Amino acid sequence: MALTLVSSNKCAGGFQKVFEHESTELKCKMKFAVYLPPKAETDKCAVMYWLSGLTCTEQNFITKAGSQLGAAEHGIIIVAPDTSPRGCNIEGEDESWDFGTGAGFYVNATQDPWKTNYRMYAYVTEELPKLINANFPTDPEKMSISGHSMGGHGALICALKNPGKYKAVSAFAPICNPMQCPWGQKAFSGYLGPDRSTWEAYDATVLAASYSGPQLDILIDQGRDDQFLSASQLLPDNLIAVCSEKKIPVVFRLQPGYDHSYFFIYSFMNDHIKHHTKYLNA
């Protein structure tokens, strides 16, 4: 698939680039960001995928998270896709901020009118890695995944649904149990339909309960002053309870004073890159 370069900026000794391509899964033009560390000029690099949250594009992470310095230091490529298909002209796609455009929830929709385009799970786990591995100096065996909020949910389900595919997973303020929160219930009803049993395939807490695969070490940071934590949208305690029962190692850090914003992500981004490096370079 042909890539079109949208932008390229020297950053932390490497290059922060954005590309556009025609997606076969999403049936529309999609943009993704890729940070190429200095190491990529001479060597193959491990890849960390970053999934952003509601309303975001590929831009939020690359302009606000401060990930490039750590990625340059540890020689990791970071790929940040968009959060949904764009410009599909589906009725209702732009009506609300938490469903449709900017809110793909990293599922493969099964319901009309969403099922043709809203296949973000397949895009993130299949189409995008193939595209990245074909066009950049990657080590295809070494990939990991992280994300924020809706993207934290995405990162967790991608890792839990594909044992061994991702060497590490981490999340900032993830939606841990979408079946039980208003955001998840709205999205899953629309994309997956009224049969709640079909929702279980995209709920990290449910998936953790049946996980059997290579050990997965999960790092989660959560701001204690996050308004969505107190609004019961994130529900980390439900996931932690299941993980401790199943002996899935989770480091869960409740960070006093931090909210849901990129100021919070920026503050702990380096810890997450170190977590990923440990497993990617093992």
Residues 6+ apart with CB under 8 A from 8: 15, 16, 17, 18
The residue with tokens 């370069």 is 5
Active-site residue (options: 226, 272, 275, 276): 226
- 112 part of the active site: no
- 149 part of the active site: yes
Active-site residue (options: 149, 153, 170, 221): 149
How far apart are the C-alpha atoms of 28 and 217, rounded to whole Å? Answer: 35
Residue 200, helix vs strand vs coil: helix
Active-site residue (options: 74, 148, 153, 260): 260
96, 111 Cβ separation under 8 angstroms: no
Token pair of 26 as six digits? 């999403």
Q: How many CA atoms lie within 13 A of 145 on its CB side?
A: 27
Could you count the other beta carbons within 10 Å of the beta carbon of residue 41?
Answer: 11
Token pair of 169 as six digits? 């997973």
- 260 part of the active site: yes
Task: Report the catalytic residues.
Answer: 149, 226, 260
